[in-house]
Amino acid sequence: MPTVLLATDVDRVHDQVEAAIGGDHDLIRVHAGTAVLAAVAEHDPALVVLDLQIGNMGGMAACLDLRLEQRAERIPDQRIVMLLDRVADEWLAGQAEADAWLVKPIDPLALRRTVDEVLAGLSA
């Protein structure tokens, strides 16, 4: 069962992600963007899901941090899905080099499909 790391400080987002993909994936949650890098090193997830709005270090910053660390070869390549607040954030997600993104509210079927596609390497 692939491990998915979810970074969100919102219980509702966690519950929605768990309901959408929890049965087929081992879901690990961190509550702070600053905890993402350490959790990646500890759990070696197949996928990282980042909520855009995380209190102390947002999803964009966490995504950029992971990309910088992988370019420095301190962590393996990461697959990253961002959960965005609005369509206008899609440009930022692309600039942060997320593999895929969805605009909230979370559509469970769309999230499951996106996770499956990113894990299969089908996303741009």
Looking at residue 87, which CATH number applies to its domain? 3.40.50.2300
**Residues 96-109: pLDDT tens digits?**
999 999 999 999 99
Contacts of 50 (CB under 8 A, 6+ apart): 7, 33, 36, 59, 62, 63, 80, 81, 82, 83, 98
Inside any domain, residue 112: no
Q: Helix-strand-coil percent breakdown of the chain, rounded to 5?
A: 45, 20, 35
> Which pLDDT band, with edges at 50, 70 and 90, does 124 fall under?
very low
Which range marks the domain in which residue 61 is found? 3-103
Inside any domain, residue 111: no
Rounded Cα–Cα distance for residues 81 and 51 (Å)? 9
Inside any domain, residue 42: yes
Q: What domain count does the chain have? A: 1
Inside any domain, residue 114: no
Inside any domain, residue 76: yes
pTM: 0.94
> Which pLDDT band, with edges at 50, 70 and 90, does 94 fall under?
very high
Q: Is the pLDDT of residue 83 over 70?
A: yes
Inside any domain, residue 37: yes
